[in-house]
Chains A and B, each alone.
Chain A
Amino acid sequence: MSDYIVTIGLEVHCELKTESKLFCSCVNKFGGEPNSHTCPICAGHPGVMPVLNKKAVEYTVKAGCAIGSRISRFSKWDRKNYFYPDLPKAWQTSQYDLPLCVGGEVRFDVGGEEKTVRLNRIHLEEDAGKLVHGAGFTAVDYNRCGVPLIECVTEPDIHSADEAVAFLEELAGIFRYCGISDCKMQEGSIRADVNLSLSRPGEPLGTRTETKNLNSFRSVRRAIEAEIARQTEVLESGGKVVQETRHFDDASGTGYGMRSKEDAQDYRYFPEPDLMPVVLSDADIDAIAASLPELKRARRARYTSELGLSDYDADVLTSDPAVADLFDETVKLGAVAKKAANYIMSEIMRKGKTEGEDGVTVGVTGAQLSDILSLVEKGEINLVASKDVLDKIWQTDMSASEAVDKLGLRQNNDAGEIEKLVRDIIAANPGPADDFRKGNEKVLSFFVGQLMKATKGKTNPKIAGDLVRKLLSE
């Protein structure tokens, strides 16, 4: 129904990739045997107390700096009280009225146009555990309990599923570039709640619903589309949208109400007495801001305007910060941008990608890659041989030149030597040689192939091709 304006605000939860949890020294790592990454503190034993992980504060401030938030010089901790088995203390330590980051905005492109979404706040809090349902029982795994989580709350600036997804992708990209979160959807390290309402143009915003805990970009899109359809139908049939919390079932593709405003939880927030407030100086904040890398959007722009790459290439290269870093490093060491880009997009990204996983494993340094590219450029190895070199040096600190020698791949560029070999092959294959003389050009490649086979690919293919033609024509 095109005559409704869709208004969406998102609450995005992102797990920070600190070494340890937010309030104890347990490892912050996805997976593991249930309850193996726990201690009395994160398991909420009587008498335990939290100690703040300063790295998590630094990462949150970094996130804020990356999107232009105002960083609070004074922020504090609050208890959000509710009962649920995955929350062992029965409160979540969070930030209520004084979050670490206030305001900010994210710019991104959607449908070829630039769009800006304002952020209301970013605060730091702890993640809860997970319920594991079995046959006739439910168990709790506290491994995720106490993992640092940032909650990013947007203003209601989003108006479609496309915009929501494009925003989320941009935000995830920013956090990956900052090195503060992997934003891995399949590990639940980025999750979103969708607040959505419909209104007629010129009229005030309609009643909103909140769909909780969507853990893939795909379910965000589907949940928004389903909720727009549902609210439209309610309004069209003369009904009223009820303010409520909803859940979206990925399997069936439909949402359902969980609780209405009347029985909304009263979290009884109050200041956490066991933690001191976080006080940051200008110097602290400046140091964190100075550690920010060049972000995705700026890099993409630089690749197209300064390095002359196509939009497509710039997009692919900046999709993963490790790939973009490799590209920059390689070009800085003298590689031709377009050639480095092509090689990275074809060979490195193919090799570094694991099925079903976000992100690319980059197994070479810029120095190693620029070495490969320069060897190819100089004709020391050919492109085919370069793949063997790549395999050899992948995730080692061996140089490309050393690998070429070890593999014995150095290309033969000596025309005199190649000529001898070509003569031998022509002599051994009188039939095909006759065919060429009768005008069959196709046999040229047969001879080059034979030569490559005999030299294990180590012959300069251009010199070889020229010599085959010349000698056959004698």
Chain B
Amino acid sequence: MTVEKTLLEIKKDLAEKKISSLEATEATLAQIEAKADLGSYVTVCADEARAAAKEADARIAAGEDLPLLGVPVAVKDNICTEGVRTTCASRFLENYVPPYDAFVVKKLKAAGAVIVGKTNMDEFAMGSASEFSAFGPVKNAVDPSRVPGGSSGGSAAAVASFQAYAALGSDTGGSIRQPASFNGVVGLKPTYSAVSRFGLVAFASSLDQIGPLARTVDDCKYVYDVIKGHDPMDSTSAPGDIDRGEKFDSLKGRRIGVAKEFFPSSLDSGIKAALDKAIKFYEKNGAEIVETSIKSFDMALACYYILSSAEASSNLSRYDGIKYGRRAAGCKSLQDIYYKSRTEFFGPEVKRRIMLGNFVLSSGYYDAFYLRASKARTLIKNDFEAALSGCDALICPTAPTTAYERGKQADPSDAYLGDVFTVPVNIAGLPGLSLRCGADADGLPIGMQLIGKAYCEETLFSLARIFEREAAV
């Protein structure tokens, strides 16, 4: 079936004119329709996609060759698309149509991609189950009674259920890797500053990164190569040629680190077994397994929730009912506009983070929270640097659980614990890749995470590719 091909396969078919972009796009749109129950998309851009597909077909006919020419892909709904509403799955922005394209969207368009729609997510990317969406929850593509993970749950479910050949997500504390894990697909959170954030609606600016989700390692790398690179509009974007990773086909001489903090005694036995098997695979195939440690690991979760909420409280202040987005009805004063609009149009998790963020930044508490968290960030970075100085990558579970049942998570702090293995990577600004490494007793995918040195995505892809090809999970 057309939609089940990998991105590289469909790309080849398109180039060889075995299929037209319009046909591939129609098949994808039909699959989106057929799988609409999953709630993967907030907005399906059928007309725009068909127009882009026709243009791609004309260019293919004219002999043009671009990396993604004619390939249907999806974009998370917190990445701005000119002329197509970008809601962040929030009531506040349900009517917001950006006047510009994000850098990565420009890159996708320049590479000839056909954007089929905007994927569903947790509101403003805050959450890890994609249940905090103003447009309804997303369901897991493997088992719709389960959550798809979050916040890029829509992107992960769309890719896993063949509603796109690849999708862009964003990852502030695990929002690409954890849903990739829950849906059994490949997700990369690139090194901080490797992909421009211009046009990504900010949640926590010092942690946010855009990255690809795809069904294979090579597809994931292929999309990453399209979207990475310097952008003068993002002052934090890394200049010049950033790649420092290595491409290799053999594990001989490679060293893979196992930090004990990522394997607590409480770790789910099914997940532990799958990870042990993966570690054995690498060892058996010639890699050296190195025991190491991230001593500051225990600080990471608190550090993350302080820093990310602080930045979020500021980043989300612009939604004030004045300039764009929704304004509550019946406002009689300026205070009314602020209070009523922000009360009515923000969901519960967003409000929680805004309050938390304002608290940690407020006069008298700044030193105790924000400043200490900033210091913890330095410790965590240093620990990762030390651990990675002795190996090519660290291996660990992506998440402490597999996909859990929908509607079950009542306590926010339990949900926050689900990010325990992913947030340290954002704090350290390093690349992290999640890849399926097995299944639990219910047949739900288990994800493993490979954490690399800064700008060494290529190394992660190499390690993941060998596993994907040879481990037979």
Contact = CB atoms under 8 A, between A and B. Distances in A.
Partners in one complex: yes
Interface of A: 40, 43-52, 79, 81, 83, 85, 88-91, 140, 266, 268-270, 273-276
> Which of A43, A45, A46, A269 has most B Cβ within 10 Å?
A46
A47 B323 contact: no
Nearest to A77: B235
A269 B197 CA distance: 23
B206 interface: yes
> Which of B202, B310, B314, B370 has most A Cβ within 10 Å?
B314
Contacts, number: 99
10 closest pairs, A vs B, by CB? Answer: A90-B317, A268-B361, A273-B206, A273-B205, A46-B201, A47-B199, A47-B80, A47-B201, A266-B363, A85-B322
A47 B98 contact: yes
Contact of A274 (B100, B205, B322, B363): B205
Contacts of A275: 235-236
B438 to A, nearest CB: 37
Contacts of A266: 362-363
Nearest to B234: A49
A268 B359 CA distance: 9
Given A40-B99, A47-B98, A47-B200, A274 B318 contact: no
A83 B338 contact: yes
B98 A49 contact: no
A320 to B, nearest CB: 37
A90 B93 CA distance: 17
A311 B331 CA distance: 61
Contacts of A83: 317, 320, 338
Contacts of A50: 235
A416 B96 CA distance: 88
B323 A88 contact: yes
B317 A91 contact: yes
26 contacts: A44-B318, A44-B323, A45-B80, A46-B80, A46-B88, A46-B98, A49-B197, A49-B234, A51-B233, A52-B235, A81-B313, A81-B361, A83-B320, A83-B338, A89-B318, A90-B314, A90-B318, A268-B313, A268-B361, A268-B363, A269-B361, A270-B361, A273-B205, A274-B205, A274-B236, A275-B236
Contacts of A51: 232-233, 235
Nearest to B93: A46
> Which of A40, A47, A48, A275 has most B Cβ within 10 Å?
A47
B165 interface: no
B334 A85 contact: yes
A397 B235 CA distance: 43
A88 B322 CA distance: 8
Contact of B198 (A47, A85, A140): A47
B314 to A, nearest CB: 5
Contacts of A90: 314, 317-318, 320
B43 interface: no
Contact of A270 (B79, B86, B310, B322): B310
B60 interface: no
A50 B79 CA distance: 17
Contacts of A91: 314, 317
Interface of A is mostly: loop
B470 to A, nearest CB: 41
Interface of B is mostly: loop
Nearest to A266: B363
B118 to A, nearest CB: 13
B102 interface: yes
A43 B199 CA distance: 14
A45 B98 contact: yes
Contact of B358 (A44, A140, A268): A268
B324 A45 contact: yes
Contacts of B419: none
A415 to B, nearest CB: 73
Nearest to A90: B317
B122 interface: no
A44 B96 CA distance: 13
Nearest to B359: A268
Contacts of B206: 273
> Which of A83, A273, A275 has most B Cβ within 10 Å?
A273
B317 A49 contact: no
Interface string B78-117: 1110000010100001001011101000000000000000
Interface string B209-239: 0000000000000000000000011111000
Contacts of A269: 361, 366
A48 B317 contact: no
A273 B200 CA distance: 14
A43 B320 contact: no
B311 interface: yes
Contacts of A274: 202, 205, 234-236
Nearest to B196: A49
Given A48-B198, A274-B235, A43 B362 contact: no
B99 A45 contact: yes
Contacts of B204: 273
B193 to A, nearest CB: 10
Contact of A49 (B233, B334, B361): B233
A40 B318 contact: no
Nearest to B337: A85
B236 A276 contact: yes
Contacts of A48: 198-199
Interface in B143-177: none
Contacts of B233: 49, 51
Given A46-B88, A268-B313, 4 more contacts: A46-B318, A49-B198, A88-B323, A270-B310
Contacts of B234: 49, 274
> Which of A50, A81, A274, A275 has most B Cβ within 10 Å?
A274
